[in-house]
Amino acid sequence: MVAAPPGPCFAVEGAGPDLIHFTLCSEGAAQAPEPRCFLPAPAKCYSLCVPATPSVPAARLHRRLQQSLRQGPFARCRLLGLLCYSSGRGAPAAVEKGFLIQDPQGGPETERALEDLLRSQGEQPPPPLGVYEAGERGELWQSLWALRRAGGRELLRRAQVVAAEEPPLHPAVSSLRSAAVFHCLEAARGVVEQCTSLIPEAKAVLDLVDKCPKHSKKGKFPVIVIEGLDATGKTTVTQSVKESLNALLLRSPPTCISSWRKTFDDEPTLIRRAFYALGNYIVASEIAKASTKSPVIVDRVEESYKRMENPTCKEVDASPSREEVLRTVLHLIKNHCGSL
């Protein structure tokens, strides 16, 4: 095992919870151990990565590659998640994400199919392809090839592959805050704006968001958010509370965009979460407006409620009978919201 150098390191996500870490050495390191994610001959391994930046093109490219690598000429291969990260001081920073492809048969057709796949993605230049091969003394080497769209390739580097020490934190930790977590309306809106030329429904979502008031203010009636796991009776309790209080029931995503859920659910995580984040802003506006006229019951948008004020949260045991759970919920509402 060698300490991680300042250059690029890699983490392979296997079937279990542990990551396999390796790095590249420009000088020969014959005594260094080989990472256990690489198969012995005649098997052969390949890798490809795309930038881990929170952008729509990179997210969609990663998704397309993932889908393509699970079918056709790659059906016999095993696909493992791969992170490329820098190992400077502090937490490691993930700079690229991609895949390690294990071909148990090691035939040349897999490498040709990978080159064709990368050239067909519309990227200029195509993502480079890493090819792993044993050296004369049994050591493992990575050859990184730049692919020309018209055909042919150029060697970018050749380095020995050796096992690396595990960093103190997961390589993706440093990029979690920017990967697909939106802390303001502008951040989520910016992602969906990038999709307007790719997803027709994106423009309609943005139009609805733009119609919402910039600052939502809750009315005098209480807003009650009911959260819970599936199959715990949450829907039944929600409906009963609505009828008991003569309240308005709202859901997230709101009705005005719920018909587009399937479209955005099929997109990468970055786009999907941006869609639901904007849905929360729309619901927050609906909650504020509705609470000026009657009590409001919200089925799962706790986040929308939090955007207006800090809520009081009470946990209710859902294991008793439906009637008893309803009595408990109504008792809590009256205690915290006064007479309705």
Whether the per-residue pLDDT at 179 is higher than 50: the answer is yes
Whether the per-residue pLDDT at 190 is higher than 80: the answer is yes
- Among residues 176, 199, 230, which one ends one of the domains? 176
Strand pairing category for 93-103 and 129-134:
unpaired
- Among residues 176, 196, 220, which one ends one of the domains? 176
- Give the count of domains, the chain: 2
Q: What is the mean pLDDT of residues 45-72?
A: 91
Write the pLDDT tens digit of every residue in 130-141: 999 988 888 899
Q: Say what percent of the chain tops pLDDT 70.
A: 84
CATH number, domain at 267? 3.40.50.300
- Do you find a cis peptide bond into 311, omega within 30 degrees of 0? no
Q: What is the mean pLDDT of residues 2-31?
A: 73
- Contacts of residue 334, defined as CB under 8 A and 6 or more positions apart, other chains included, come to 340
Torsion angles phi and psi, residue 19, rounded to 5: -95, 150
Write the pLDDT tens digit of every residue in 295-325: 888 876 755 555 545 556 677 777 788 788 8
Q: Which two tokens stand for residue 246?
A: 């003569």
Residue 292 belongs to some domain of the structure: yes
- Say what the pLDDT of residue 1 is: 47
- Say what the pLDDT of residue 180 is: 54
- Say what the pLDDT of residue 230 is: 65
Whether the per-residue pLDDT at 58 is higher than 70: the answer is yes
What average pLDDT does the chain have?
84
Q: Which domain holds residue 109?
A: 8-176
Distance between terminal CA atoms of the chain? Answer: 67
Least confident of 57-71, 72-86, 143-157, 167-181: 167-181
The alpha helices in the chain, defined as continuous H runs, are 56-68, 108-119, 176-179, 185-193, 200-210, 234-245, 255-258, 261-265, 269-290, 302-306, 322-337
Q: Is 206 found in the same domain as 156?
A: no
| Structure-model confidence comparison of residues 74 and 310, the more confident one | 74
- Among residues 176, 197, 225, which one ends one of the domains? 176
- Say what the pLDDT of residue 4 is: 44
CA 230 to mean position of chain CA atoms: 22
Residue 88 belongs to some domain of the structure: yes
Task: Please classify residue 213 by burial: count the beta carbons closer than 10 Å to its beta carbon, then call 0-12 exposed, 13-18 middle and 19+ buried.
Answer: exposed
Q: Is 106 found in the same domain as 128?
A: yes
Write the pLDDT tens digit of every residue in 228-277: 666 666 778 888 888 888 989 888 788 999 999 999 999 998 899 999 99
Residue 3 belongs to some domain of the structure: no
